[in-house]
Amino acid sequence: MNRSWHPRSPGSIADQLYLSAGTVKAHISRILTRTGCANRVQAAVLAHDAGLLTDR
């Protein structure tokens, strides 16, 4: 997981990864569901605490 995904819109992420915004929203939704997080901030904190974030 890269720190740059957190503060950006799904559309911005989609453009960088050559995906549709709907695909990015679906992936984010699945991440939130599987981790039990209520939002992307909680998911980012969880990823940070697990050592999954990279500095880029």
How do residues 12-50 score in pLDDT, each as one tens digit? Answer: 888 989 999 999 999 999 999 999 999 999 998 999 999
What are the two backbone dihedrals, phi and then psi, of residue 42, each rounded to the nearest 5 degrees? -60, -40
Instruction: Please give the full DSSP string across 26-52, using - where no structure is assigned.
Output: HHHHHHHHHHT-SSHHHHHHHHHHTT-
pLDDT at 53 over 80: yes
Rounded distance, CA 11 to CA 21, Å? 5
pTM: 0.76
